[in-house]
């Protein structure tokens, strides 16, 4: 049963930003880019997190509420329980590829970019937006991987001053992009999905929402345009995501 | 599907089903588009997730855990509440009959919700008196007795002419008496029933119950034998139709339920094992079984276990 809980021990913790910590575990899992796991802390809650990397199993988690606060209190050597991975994954297209990430939502795009052979990563441009430069995460990791990164910050503290969606539109004009993949806040992804449809570019969105049964697909809490995000997603093409 | 002379349709008063499979309440029924998808995958009818007077967050996660031959769940009636729920389900556009479902703290509140839910074009109304894991509702509000069943059924009966289904629990004594109480107050069908239990699963690594609510209702093949026996007992007690819910996964499970006395079957957890189109699959399997055994309609085998 894929729904059985498994144990992972934290072997490394890296602070990515004031809000985000990356936890590297002592195990490998078999996951595909775009998939997520359900992380369980008994008597607290259980929440979905996109897999940053599967070998070793790695998660990047932003502190946004009581559950993630508990996660941030975990130390090297602590064990966590999780089930999964769940969900579908991104589908690759040949040619130039634009990734648009928003804040800590960029996580699934990191795993996706890393799944391209090294020689193809030069065709990938990441537009990464955040409120301020401290909130931009994984920038060096993307660069090390061979992906070109263009940052935007709302306050102009790094890169383009303004929204990632505006920067993405500028970047789109500089090349012949065959595909766009986006992960981050809904308002950003909706805009990107519309831009992709207008420009007739293949586009996939990593939909994030509230999960209850998380991957089992029986509770229906995560319904989006008639689809279960936890089971039939979280990756949807732009049209389905926008409900068109 | 080839045209055959087998008739799979069943009736519960004015509720007419093309086939005897019904989406059980609580499974996927929060969103009208998802309901439409299940309807178009071949369900005879679909039941919305139960609505409460106020919006409810439900229990914290985990709300569900897989166990041997089934699931254990304690969702805690997470729903938008009657007002938003009515707005949502008004959007339902399928031809497949939609069954309304409400849960409430007492008879008065049930009556109030019964009024409101009829703003949705539902074809029948189900009252769940049987949730095993939500304080203030169902078993945890003492609704699993003949007295409470009688009071609640009577109060709602005054509010609607729609076929009225009372969903009871397999986990309380006197299910025959409870069913009789519902029938006496004008119920048109008994749904047997809710998840069994409560049960518990402890995670060995952490030594903690997995469900955040610690206990939950058992569903799936694990409870089928208890459901069959319960349907058998209720068939002896009442004349009104019985909907058999609990572990129906294959056509043969439905056949067994019909033999015990059921008119239709509810399917929930089975979706996990066989997908959205389980309704179609079960219907085809029922049809094939009937054909192979020389029956033209379900009523030929209904209750034969009692003969």
Return per-residue pLDDT of chain A as tens, 244 residues.
579 999 999 999 999 999 999 999 999 999 999 999 999 999 999 999 999 999 999 999 999 999 999 999 999 999 999 999 999 999 999 999 999 999 999 999 999 999 999 999 999 999 999 999 999 999 999 999 999 999 999 999 999 999 999 999 999 999 999 999 999 999 999 999 999 999 999 999 999 878 999 999 999 999 999 999 999 999 999 999 999 9
Residue B27's alpha-carbon distances to A237, B281, B296, in angstroms, are 26, 18, 31
Separation of alpha carbons B21 and A244, rounded Å: 31
Instruction: Read off the pLDDT band of B216 (50, 70, 90).
Output: very high
pLDDT for the residue numbered B94 = 87
| Token pair for B171 | 């986990």
* Tokens coding B166: 């009372």
Of A7, A43, A227, the CB nearest to B208: A43
The model's pLDDT over B26-68, given as tens digits with 9 standing for 90+, comes to 999 899 999 999 999 999 999 999 999 999 999 999 999 999 9
On the question of pLDDT at B2 being above 70, the answer is: no
B5 pLDDT band, cuts 50/70/90, is confident
Q: What is the DSSP string of B57-97?
A: --PPSP-EEEETTEEEE-----B--HHHHHHHHHT---SSP
**Residue A121 CA to chain centroid, in angstroms?**
18
Which of B31, B40, B59, B61 to mutate to probe the A interface, most A CBs <10 Å? B61
B78, B268, B271 ranked by CB distance to A221: nearest: B78
Check residue A61 and give its pLDDT: 96
In contact, B298 and B44? CB cutoff 8 Å: no
Contacts with B199 (C-beta within 8 Å, 6 or more apart), sequence order? B67, B72, B215, B216, B217, B218
Q: Give the Cα separation of B165 and B145 in Å (integer).
A: 16
Does the pLDDT value for residue B180 go beyond 60?
A: yes
Average pLDDT of the residues of chain B: 96
Chain A contacts of B71, Cβ < 8 Å?
A: 216, 218
Which residues, 6 or more positions from A126, have their beta carbon under 8 angstroms from its beta carbon?
A98, A99, A100, A101, A106, A109, A113, A142, A147, A148, A149, A150
* B64:A219 CB<8 A: yes
pLDDT of residue B134: 93
Is it the case that residue B179 has pLDDT exceeding 80? yes
Sheet arrangement for strand A20-25: A45-50, A36-41, A79-86, A6-15, A20-25, A57-62, A53-54
Structural domains for chain A = 6-86 (2.40.30.10), 97-242 (3.40.50.80)
> Distance between CA atoms of A219 and B237, rounded to whole angstroms?
33
Q: CA-CA distance, B93 to B82, in Å (whole number)?
A: 19
Q: What is the pLDDT of residues B106-150, one digit of tens each?
A: 999 999 999 999 999 999 999 999 999 999 999 999 999 999 999
Task: Supply the residues of B annotated as catalytic.
Answer: 131
Kindly determine whether residue B27 and residue A220, on different chains, have CB atoms separated by under 8 Å: yes
Q: Let me know how long chain A is.
A: 244
pLDDT at A1 (0 to 100): 56
Instruction: Give residue-wise pLDDT tens across range B82-108.
Output: 999 999 999 999 899 999 999 999 999
Q: Is B45 helix (H, G, I), strand (E, B) or coil?
A: strand
Contact predicate B70/B57, CB 8 Å: no
Whole-angstrom distance, CA of residue B242 vs CA of residue B141: 24
Closest CA of chain B from A100, distance in Å: 29
Chain B: residue nearest A45 by CA? B61
Residue of B nearest to A4 (CA): B66
Query: What pLDDT does B262 receive?
Result: 98
Predicted pLDDT of residue B3: 53
State what percent of residues in chain B have pLDDT above 70.
99
């Amino acid at each position: 049963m894929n729904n059985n809980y498994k144990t992972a021990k934290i072997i490394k913790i890296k602070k990515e930003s004031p809000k985000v910590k990356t936890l590297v575990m002592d195990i490998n899992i078999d996951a595909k880019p775009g998939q997520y796991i359900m992380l369980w802390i008994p008597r607290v809650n259980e929440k979905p997190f996109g897999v940053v990397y599967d070998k070793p199993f790695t998660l990047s988690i932003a502190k946004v509420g009581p559950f993630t606060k508990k996660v941030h209190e975990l130390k090297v050597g602590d064990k966590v329980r999780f089930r999964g991975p769940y969900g579908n994954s991104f589908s690759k297209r040949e040619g130039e590829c634009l990734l648009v990430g928003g804040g800590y939502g960029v996580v699934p795009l990191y795993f996706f970019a890393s799944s391209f052979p090294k020689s193809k990563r030069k065709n990938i441009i990441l537009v990464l937006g955040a409120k301020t430069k401290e909130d931009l995460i994984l920038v060096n990791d993307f660069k090390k991987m061979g992906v070109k990164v263009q940052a935007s910050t709302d306050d102009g503290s790094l890169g383009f001053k303004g929204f990632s969606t505006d920067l993405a539109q500028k970047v789109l004009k500089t090349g012949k992009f065959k595909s766009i993949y986006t992960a981050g806040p809904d308002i950003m992804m909706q805009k990107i999905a519309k831009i992709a449809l207008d420009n007739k570019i293949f586009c996939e969105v990593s939909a994030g929402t509230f999960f209850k049964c998380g991957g089992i697909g029986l509770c229906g809490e995560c319904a989006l345009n008639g689809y279960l995000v936890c089971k039939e997603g979280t990756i949807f093409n732009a049209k389905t995501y926008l409900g068109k | 599907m080839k045209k055959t002379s087998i008739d799979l349709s069943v009736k519960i008063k004015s509720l007419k089903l093309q086939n005897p499979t019904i989406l059980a309440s609580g499974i996927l029924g929060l969103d009208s588009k998802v309901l439409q998808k299940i309807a178009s995958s071949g369900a005879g009818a679909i039941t919305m997730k139960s609505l409460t007077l106020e919006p409810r967050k439900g229990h914290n996660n985990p709300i569900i855990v897989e166990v041997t031959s089934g699931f254990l769940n304690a969702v805690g009636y997470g729903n938008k509440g009657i007002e938003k729920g009515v707005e949502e389900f008004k959007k339902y556009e399928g031809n497949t009959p939609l069954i309304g479902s409400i849960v409430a703290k007492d008879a008065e509140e049930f009556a109030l919700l019964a009024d409101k839910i009829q703003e949705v074009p539902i074809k029948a109304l189900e009252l769940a008196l049987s949730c095993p894991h939500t304080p203030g509702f169902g078993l945890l509000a003492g609704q699993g007795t003949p007295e409470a069943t009688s009071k609640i059924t009577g109060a709602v009966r005054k509010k609607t002419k729609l076929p009225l289904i009372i969903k009871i629990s397999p986990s309380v004594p006197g299910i025959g008496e409870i069913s009789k109480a519902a029938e006496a107050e004008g119920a048109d069908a008994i749904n047997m029933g809710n998840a069994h239990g409560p049960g518990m699963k402890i995670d060995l690594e952490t030594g903690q119950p997995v469900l955040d609510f610690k206990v939950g209702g058992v569903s799936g093949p694990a409870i089928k034998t208890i459901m069959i026996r319960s349907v058998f007992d209720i068939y002896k007690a009442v004349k009104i139709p019985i909907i058999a819910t609990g572990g129906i996964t294959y056509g043969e499970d439905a056949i067994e339920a019909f033999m015990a006395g059921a008119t239709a079957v509810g399917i929930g957890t089975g979706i996990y094992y066989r997908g959205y189109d389980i309704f179609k699959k079960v219907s085809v399997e029922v049809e094939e079984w009937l054909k192979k055994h020389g029956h033209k309609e379900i009523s030929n085998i209904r209750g034969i276990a009692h003969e």
